[in-house]
Amino acid sequence: MTATSPAVAVITGGASGLGKAIALQLAEQSMQLVIADINAEIGRETQAELEQLGATVAFVEADVSQAEQVKHYVDVALERFGRIDYFVNNAGISGPGTPFADNSVEQIDAVLDTNLRGALYGLKFVLDAMLKQGSGSIVNMSSSAGLVGIEGVGVYSATKHGLTGITKTLAVEYAARGIRINAVAPGATETPMVAAYREMHPDIVARNEAAIPQQRFGTPGEVAKTVCFLLLGSVPHINGVTLPIDGGYTAQ
């Protein structure tokens, strides 16, 4: 990055929900954005919305569970903008919301493939680029379910604990090479994912909400603000943490 070239941020799952909220806040910082998402229709709508705000945006249709598609969105970022300063490893799915043993093998694989395999592929290819640059900052999207057990989300919880683990390890491995890696652990936050989950399991969602000390779900803006705080490094000594944004839920 030079004084004349804005920083470059790559956001997976940036078409909707938390990823979109993060993209909107990064656009306010005049960044060049790459949004990688499996949903091309809403991805292009989000791209247009960001461009109307004056942002420079590349949208890449990509399924993060496919290594070659992950390499492709990284290649597009490098070809179009020359570097990757910031990576928000956000794409994820919730799974069926049933007790663990009720999951089919296919349901287990689907959540593992997107949330963990996809996130690890992203880290691998983005780190290849950041290590060549000698700089970069990454935020992984974990969850309250990456810190404690929550009913109905066993496979999801395994993937989010995995992200908490890889965040610590990579922070240790790459700190001396100019790269910081943190994670956020939102509690339930009002996005399309939670709206769909509420439709399927209103009882579980109501119990979760009642169990939050602040008695409300989070907002996408609150999560985006926290991601930007860690990503942009206003306190650069923060490294390897998974920061809860959950109204006190995991403090209990």
Ligand X SMILES: NC(=O)c1ccc[n+]([C@@H]2O[C@H](COP(=O)([O-])OP(=O)(O)OC[C@H]3O[C@@H](n4cnc5c(N)ncnc54)[C@H](O)[C@@H]3O)[C@@H](O)[C@H]2O)c1
Active site residues: 156
Any contact of residue 214 with ligand X (CB under 6 A)?
no
Least distance in Å: CB of 3 to ligand X? 33
User: For residues 64 and 37, what is the distance between their CA atoms, to the nearest angstrom?
Assistant: 8
Q: What are phi and psi of 22, to 5 degrees?
A: -70, -45
Q: What three-state secondary structure class fits 17?
A: helix
User: For residues 219 and 216, what is the distance between their CA atoms, to the nearest angstrom?
Assistant: 9
Any contact of residue 23 with ligand X (CB under 6 A)?
no
Give the residue from 29, 16, 48 showing the smallest Cα distance to 196: 16
Task: Please pick, from the candidates 88, 91, 139, 171, the single residue that binds ligand X as defined by CB under 6 A.
Answer: 91
Least distance in Å: CB of 94 to ligand X? 6
Among residues 118 and 136, whose Cβ is nearest to ligand X?
118
Among residues 194 and 238, whose Cβ is nearest to ligand X?
194
User: For residues 242 and 250, what is the distance between their CA atoms, to the nearest angstrom?
Assistant: 12
Task: Please pick, from the candidates 7, 8, 10, 13, the single residue that binds ligand X as defined by CB under 6 A.
Answer: 13
Least distance in Å: CB of 200 to ligand X? 13
Q: What three-state secondary structure class fits 131?
A: helix
CA distances (Å), 169 to each of 31, 66, 158, in order?
28, 23, 17
User: For residues 224 and 110, what is the distance between their CA atoms, to the nearest angstrom?
Assistant: 26
- Tokens read off for 74: 């990284």
User: For residues 179 and 239, what is the distance between their CA atoms, to the nearest angstrom?
Assistant: 9
Cβ-Cβ contacts under 8 Å for 202 (sequence gap 6 or more): none
**Range 143-172 burial, b when 16+ CB lie within 10 A, else e:** bbbbbeebebbbbbbbbbbbbbebbbebbe
Binding piece for ligand X, criterion CB under 6 A, among 10-18, 48-56, 79-87, 168-176: 10-18
What is the pattern of x (binds ligand X, CB under 6 A) and - over residues 56-75?
------xxxx----------
Cβ-Cβ contacts under 8 Å for 53 (sequence gap 6 or more): 24, 27, 28
Any contact of residue 92 with ligand X (CB under 6 A)?
yes
Any contact of residue 110 with ligand X (CB under 6 A)?
no
Return the residues of window 115-154 that contact ligand X according to CB under 6 A. 118, 141, 143
Least distance in Å: CB of 191 to ligand X? 3
Any contact of residue 192 with ligand X (CB under 6 A)?
yes
Binding piece for ligand X, criterion CB under 6 A, among 96-104, 126-134, 166-174, 190-198: 190-198
Any contact of residue 37 with ligand X (CB under 6 A)?
yes
Q: State the virtual CA torsion across 66, 157, 178, 133 in degrees, nearest 10.
A: 10
Among residues 19 and 96, whose Cβ is nearest to ligand X?
19
Binding piece for ligand X, criterion CB under 6 A, among 50-58, 95-103, 171-179, 184-192: 184-192
Question: Where do contacts with ligand X occur on this chain (CB under 6 A)?
Answer: 12-13, 15-19, 37-39, 62-65, 90-93, 114, 118, 141, 143, 186, 188-189, 191-194
